[in-house]
Structure 1
Amino acid sequence: MTAPLVMTLRGLRKSYRLGRHTVPALQGVDLDLRAGEMLALTGPSGSGKTTLLNMCGLIDLPDAGNVLLRGEPVHRLSERHRALLRRDLLGFVFQGFSLVPVMSAAQNVEYPLFLAGVPQAERDRRVAQALDAVGLAAHARHRPDELSGGQRQRVAIARALVKRPALVIADEPTASLDSHTAEAVLDLMRERCHEDGVTFLFASHDERLSRCCDRIVRLLDGRIEGAPAAVPVNARSAA
């Protein structure tokens, strides 16, 4: 049975002005993201990965094309409506963790729920569950500077997942981690993806991350190589 679509991108085009020059970032990108899959977005610097992540994260709008989140054409919505969708349906994991340094691990994880107006008792329950799921229940009161790089990344993952998002967007989530820690973080994300049905979209140059994904999509000069079909990982392995 085919998993339901979480996000649909059709004909996305985006250009930026640099002085008197127009630089194309995306040149007609089509992509489907389905529930419970891990997709790696690869390609050289300048290929359009960050721009595409911004489109999927509802942070930027295309010059042309359609963006649909669970079938809703979000590119037509107001910024306020898009911000609410980001708050409720999307999670983000950044290379630099982006944790609030004066907050404990629990407070960092709790913050998105606070912004969403979730009652305190429910926040406490979900934060405890999220930290336990990433193996950091014993570190709930520790601030980021008291945690290792891998632990901070796991706090960031817990923060992204505590909202129970439909889609998590992760930009180079393993770039600053050693091999052992990166493998542990990838195992955690794969577990949450398959058990909770969360979709993960990664932008990464890390081959370890690409190998654990269900699909690899390679961008080059703002286009998907081999479009319209992305290349399944198992097909690459067999080649």
Structure 2
Amino acid sequence: MSRLNTQAPLMHLQGVHKTYRLGQHVIPALQGVDLTVQRGELLALTGPSGSGKSTILNLCGLIDAADTGTIALEGQDTRALTEDQRTLLRRDALGFVFQNFNLVPVMTVAENVDYPLFLTGVRAAERRERVAQQLQAVGLQDHAQHRPDALSGGQRQRVAIARALIKRPRLVIADEPTASLDSHTADQVLELMRERCHAQGAAFVIATHDSRLTRRCDRVVALLDGRIEGVSK
């Protein structure tokens, strides 16, 4: 796998088309999308259901591949990667935050945050130090030994953000991260995402219907029927 180019845009999609098959039908999910994500940017994807938001998340997260077009991470064309290389790049360079948190219920808060480091073989002493720092950063140091079912929705989402950021990823993919949160909690989570984005230099690409979130993003990309309809700041 070639070295990444830190001078190139973090993520660049050019001329991307993606279709899905539903029985005998071919569904056009993306139709010629061009999109650049810069380092340290909070970028929101908006649009109605079926507009292409989730497809872009899956492509940027290297979960799926485009039918045609280029998807480059720090200048590296991901089409040239084997599945094993994509898996390693996803593990090492990307973080994920989901609407429903996706925490492991039998693990403590600290264990959930630690798990990505455990998978990459980081030594135990370094893992403990980094987990403690990350929990401090998201204000959950006093909940390290609690299990997810003992936490509020906002606290669970903060655990999910800490877990996504523990690897120091270049890019965080977030799917409707505030949809299940009340307004006060959503504001806290959004502020945390923005602060962590700027503090760690990680970019966030966020699919959302939440106007509370889009108001705080650096750019908002509006999608409709698999095409970009507009970009605003």
C-alpha displacement at 1:177, in angstroms? 0.3
What corresponds to 1:16 in structure 2? 20
Query: Aligned partners of 1:196, 1:113: CA distance in 2, in Å?
Result: 17
C-alpha displacement at 1:4, in angstroms? 5.4
- Can you give the 5+ residue segments of structure 1 that lack an aligned partner in the other structure? 234-239
Which residue of 21, 44, 51 corresponds with 1:47? 51
What corresponds to 2:110 in structure 1? 106
Query: Deviations along 1:68-118, whole A, 9 cap, x unmatched?
Result: 011111122111100101111000000000000000000000000000111
Are 2:11 and 2:71, in contact at CA under 8 Å, matched by a contact in 1?
yes
C-alpha displacement at 1:17, in angstroms? 1.1
Query: Deviations along 1:202-239, whole A, 9 cap, x unmatched?
Result: 0000000000000000110000014xxx32x2xxxxxx
What corresponds to 1:72 in structure 2? 76
Are 2:8 and 2:75, in contact at CA under 8 Å, matched by a contact in 1?
no
Tell me the secondary structure at the aligned position of residue 22 of structure 1. strand
C-alpha displacement at 1:52, in angstroms? 0.8
Query: Aligned partners of 1:5, 1:64: CA distance in 2, in Å?
Result: 20
- Can you give the 5+ residue segments of structure 2 that lack an aligned partner in the other structure? 1-6
Opposite residue 124 of structure 1, the aligned amino acid is R
C-alpha displacement at 1:194, in angstroms? 1.3
What corresponds to 2:173 in structure 1? 169
What corresponds to 1:197 in structure 2? 201
Query: Aligned partners of 1:190, 1:223: CA distance in 2, in Å?
Result: 27
Which residue of 199, 206, 209 corresponds with 2:210? 206
Query: Aligned partners of 1:200, 1:63: CA distance in 2, in Å?
Result: 24
TM-score (norm 2): 0.96
C-alpha displacement at 1:11, in angstroms? 0.6
Which ranges of 4 or more aligned residues in structure 1 deviate by more than 3 Å? none
Tell me the secondary structure at the aligned position of residue 194 of structure 1. helix
Query: Deviations along 1:169-212, whole A, 9 cap, x unmatched?
Result: 10000000000000000000100111221101100000000000
C-alpha displacement at 1:44, in angstroms? 0.4
Query: Aligned partners of 2:24, 2:98: CA distance in 1, in Å?
Result: 32
Are 1:4 and 1:35, in contact at CA under 8 Å, matched by a contact in 2?
no
Tell me the secondary structure at the aligned position of residue 167 of structure 2. coil
What corresponds to 1:86 in structure 2? 90
What corresponds to 2:3 in structure 1? none
Query: Aligned partners of 1:200, 1:54: CA distance in 2, in Å?
Result: 14
What corresponds to 2:149 in structure 1? 145
Q: How many residues align?
A: 227
What corresponds to 1:56 in structure 2? 60
Query: Aligned partners of 2:10, 2:129: CA distance in 1, in Å?
Result: 27
Query: Deviations along 1:113-164, whole A, 9 cap, x unmatched?
Result: 0001111011001000110000000000000001111000000000000000
Query: Aligned partners of 1:224, 1:134: CA distance in 2, in Å?
Result: 33
What corresponds to 2:228 in structure 1? 224
Tell me the secondary structure at the aligned position of residue 187 of structure 2. helix
Query: Deviations along 1:11-65, whole A, 9 cap, x unmatched?
Result: 1101111111111000000000000110000000011111111000000000000
